[in-house]
């Protein structure tokens, strides 16, 4: 072909190791603190919430951690994922930039989330867990964990933020098809949910509330553990298969990225793409511009404070050192439900503080303008979360055009948008507003 646009790895090239950025940071991430004592957390304190194997992984500073064979066997359903060069999109933007994207949308749940869901379900299975509780916003995470639990024979209980439960019935149905039990959060199923509903029966819910409910369900029922789809170190770790594959694929393409872009909510898809490149930035002094893209309506990295804060609304979680808008922050109802989180992964927060990455925020109309431009040139309809990355890619590519300078841009196409078409409809019919 005239221009090669697809860069696939062999079936045998699914990574065998996860990469742990904690091994290479110039200074360590501040430790999580016990919510009562405010002292660094001991592994035992987390034991009611997570299985011990994941707790140890959360605290690990080992550089490479072996991916268990049963996890890789399920990864094979969609990994290795392809990298594409978006030549039609480049042409539409009339840019000298070369734009590459890693396509994580072909997983069974449609996003990057199964990369950690499968790992977490596996570690819970071997630790003897029978049921996993979690929260979900738009449903990308809940559906991924439902899928993973099903394959390991675990029960799965999902607290889905009420506004999404009603706006996004398809992802709820996807979870149910995989056999999960799904509650609209705040729910009558937990003490905390009942408390919230008593104060405000019309509460639209938030990720912070849903996290509190899922933790409470897990620790009070005695037979279950809790699972988080982003933010934590071990979640970022599991996602590093994305960036590791990309490094090989950019070699296949014979190019080195100048700009690396991912959207951020809790931080996991960004971490997955970025951390293996951050390693090279630290150890090989590479000059990458690594860009985290968030919504202006939930501007954690661009307007939040870096301080210890709770991960949830009910103050049940450990205190994490992170950029935060405050754990009582109630984000507006934007269409990128997966980016409506008040905090940011401590590891992502830390490398932002160290100046290893940059951050930028976009309003949702601009984001959907980018998504439609991408769909109509490249041909793929992306998730609203992913569209934030594309908005930033367009600005970078336009800058290249204006400066007459070729740069290589790589972004994480973290999920497809086939279950988010109602949001496209709102945009295309002129009814979308910035909040």
Binding site for its own copies (CB under 8 A): 1-8, 10-11, 69, 72-74, 76-77, 84, 88, 106, 108, 110, 147, 150-151, 169-170, 173-174, 176-179, 372, 375-376, 379-381, 418-419, 421-422, 424-425, 428
Instruction: Indicate the pairing of strand 319-324 with strand 131-136.
Output: unpaired
Distance of closest approach, residue 231 Cβ to its own copies, in angstroms: 25
Three-state DSSP class for residue 99: strand
Distance of closest approach, residue 252 Cβ to its own copies, in angstroms: 9
With respect to its own copies, which residue has the nearer C-beta, 110 or 265? 110
CA torsion sign for 168, 171, 176, 182 is: negative
With respect to its own copies, which residue has the nearer C-beta, 23 or 77? 77
Distance of closest approach, residue 6 Cβ to its own copies, in angstroms: 5
Distance of closest approach, residue 359 Cβ to its own copies, in angstroms: 28
DSSP assignments along 113-166, one per residue: THHHHHHHHHHHHHTT--EEEEEESSSHHHHHHHHHHHHTT-EEEEEEEHHHHH
Which of 146, 130, 318 is closest to 229 using CA atoms? 146
With respect to its own copies, which residue has the nearer C-beta, 210 or 419? 419
**Angle (CA) 8 14 20, round 5°:** 120
Cβ-contact 102, 119 below 8 angstroms: no
> 291-305: buried (b, 16+ CB within 10 Å) or exposed (e) per residue?
bbbbbbbbbbbbebe
With respect to its own copies, which residue has the nearer C-beta, 33 or 375? 375
Which of 378, 388, 389, 392 is closest to 423 using CA atoms? 388
- Residue 349 is inside which H or E element, if any? helix 346-353
Which of 49, 73, 364, 375 is closest to 232 using CA atoms? 49
Distance of closest approach, residue 432 Cβ to its own copies, in angstroms: 13
Separation of first and last alpha carbons in the chain: 45
Distance of closest approach, residue 175 Cβ to its own copies, in angstroms: 10
With respect to its own copies, which residue has the nearer C-beta, 43 or 179? 179
- Residue 425 is inside which H or E element, if any? helix 421-428
With respect to its own copies, which residue has the nearer C-beta, 88 or 289? 88
With respect to its own copies, which residue has the nearer C-beta, 121 or 259? 121
Distance of closest approach, residue 183 Cβ to its own copies, in angstroms: 17
Distance of closest approach, residue 177 Cβ to its own copies, in angstroms: 5
With respect to its own copies, which residue has the nearer C-beta, 246 or 351? 246
């Amino acid at each position: 072909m005239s221009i090669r646009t697809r860069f696939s790895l062999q079936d045998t090239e699914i990574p065998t190791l996860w990469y742990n950025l904690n091994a290479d940071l110039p200074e360590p991430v501040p430790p999580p603190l016990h919510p009562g004592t405010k002292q660094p957390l001991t592994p035992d304190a987390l034991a009611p919430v997570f299985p011990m194997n994941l707790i140890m992984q959360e605290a690990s500073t080992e550089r490479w951690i072996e991916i268990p064979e049963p996890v890789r066997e399920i990864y094979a359903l969609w990994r290795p994922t392809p990298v594409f060069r978006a030549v039609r999109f480049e042409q539409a933007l009339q840019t000298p930039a070369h734009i590459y994207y890693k396509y994580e949308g072909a997983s069974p749940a449609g996003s990057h989330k199964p990369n950690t869901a499968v790992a977490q379900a596996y570690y819970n299975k071997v630790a003897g867990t029978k049921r996993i509780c979690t929260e979900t916003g738009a449903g990308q995470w809940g559906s991924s964990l439902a899928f993973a639990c099903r394959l390991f024979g675990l029960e799965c209980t999902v607290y889905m933020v009420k506004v999404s439960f009603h706006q996004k019935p398809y992802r709820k149905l996807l979870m149910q098809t995989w056999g999960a039990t799904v509650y609209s959060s705040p729910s009558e199923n937990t003490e905390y949910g009942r408390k919230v509903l008593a104060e405000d029966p019309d509460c639209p819910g938030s990720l912070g509330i849903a996290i509190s409910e899922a933790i409470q369900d897990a620790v009070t029922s005695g037979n279950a553990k809790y699972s988080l789809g982003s933010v934590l170190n071990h979640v970022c770790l599991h996602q590093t298969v994305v960036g590791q594959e990309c490094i090989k694929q950019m070699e296949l393409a014979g190019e080195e990225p100048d700009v690396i872009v991912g959207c951020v909510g809790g931080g996991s898809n960004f971490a997955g793409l970025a951390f293996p490149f951050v390693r090279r930035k630290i150890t090989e002094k590479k000059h990458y511009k690594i860009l985290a893209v968030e919504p202006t309506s939930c501007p954690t990295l661009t307007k939040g404070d870096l301080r210890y804060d709770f991960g949830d609304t009910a103050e049940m979680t450990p205190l994490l050192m992170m950029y935060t808008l405050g754990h009582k922050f109630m984000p507006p109802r934007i269409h990128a439900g997966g980016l409506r989180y008040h905090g940011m992964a401590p590891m992502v927060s830390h490398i932002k503080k160290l100046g290893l990455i940059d951050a930028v925020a976009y309003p949702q109309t601009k984001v959907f303008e980018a998504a439609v431009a991408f769909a109509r040139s490249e041909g793929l309809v992306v998730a609203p979360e992913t569209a934030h990355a594309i908005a930033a890619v367009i600005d970078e590519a336009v800058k290249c055009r204006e400066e007459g300078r070729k740069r290589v841009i790589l972004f994480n196409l973290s999920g497809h948008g086939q279950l988010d078409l109602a949001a496209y409809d709102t945009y295309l019919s002129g009814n979308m507003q910035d909040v």
